[in-house]
Each structure stands twice: as C-alpha cells, then as structure tokens.
Amino acid sequence: MNVFNKTFALETKKQFQIIDITKEVLDALKQSKVKNGQIAIFCPHTTASVRINHFEPLLLQDVMKLMYRLAPIENNYAHDFFEIRTEIQAGERSNGHAHIKAFLLGSSETIPVMEGKPVLGFRQSVFFIELDGGRTRRFVVSVLGE
C-alpha cells in the first residue's frame, strides 16, 4: 500500500477564477505509482474551493454568475466589519462573500483510481476555484492505494 501526498502552488490573477488542475492530479498519481486506490484533492484555504466539472469557458462564466447571485459582493457581511476592526492593518480585504461561496462549494473531492487512471468522465476536469484573488495559493493531491 502506497501513500503519496504532494502540495502544488499556483498564482491566481482574478477575484473569481476557475483553474484546471487535472494535469497536476495526473502528475501526482503517476509519481505515486498507485494503480488501484483513491485520490483526494484538498484546498487549504477559506476563500477558495475544489470542484470537478466541464472545462468550457462559457460554462465557467455561468458558474461565476450564479455564485455572485447567491453571495453578492455588494451585500453587507458581518465578517467584513470584523475584518475592518481587527485586520485592516494587515491589508485584509472585505471578503465575506468569498468565504460564503467556499462554504457552498466545499474543500475536497475524492476520485477512485482504476488501472492507474482516475475514473474521471470524458468531460470532467478537476478545478481549483479562486474566490478572493489574486493570491498565491496551494492545493494538495493525496493518493492512497496499491
């Protein structure tokens, strides 16, 4: 049984940005030498997320539009008053909306591995979802199996 964890860094450039990280997931799987098992992808940030869907630019616009509709940036978030009080000297932004979106989208996904490949469907890509960029971000790919 093998255990293989790898941390990847990335730079985001926009406030809301959906980045295809399928290649990094495949690279980690290859390095792990696991043929049967599971891959967990984890986002170690509170204003970003991990999801799996179709990498189609117009669809990604639709997703952004929905998320801004569910958690509008112009709403008042109590969290932003907390940050103004305590952290403005550290250069923090008003990012209540981004935390809320991360709550809805979640921090991890797990993909089974069969015959050395993740069982991703024909149109599935793994996404890192930036909700409060641009920033330096990380994600972790964790492979368990044999």
Question: Which residues, 6+ apart, have CB-to-CB distance to 13 below 8 Å?
Answer: 133, 134
Contact between residue 10 and residue 138 where contact means Cβ atoms under 8 Å apart: yes
Contact between residue 100 and residue 4 where contact means Cβ atoms under 8 Å apart: no
Q: 23 vs 70, which CB is nearer to a second copy?
A: 70
Q: 21 vs 111, which CB is nearer to a second copy?
A: 111
> Could you list the residues that contact a second copy (CB under 8 A)?
1, 3, 5, 7, 36-38, 40, 42, 44-46, 51-54, 56-59, 61-63, 66, 70-71, 77-79, 81-82, 96, 99-100, 102-114, 119-121, 123-124, 138, 140-142, 144-146
Shortest reach from residue 113's CB to a second copy, in Å: 8
Maximal CA-CA distance, the chain: 53
Shortest reach from residue 104's CB to a second copy, in Å: 7
Shortest reach from residue 85's CB to a second copy, in Å: 9
CB atoms within 10 A of CB 34: 21
Contact between residue 17 and residue 130 where contact means Cβ atoms under 8 Å apart: yes
Shortest reach from residue 17's CB to a second copy, in Å: 15
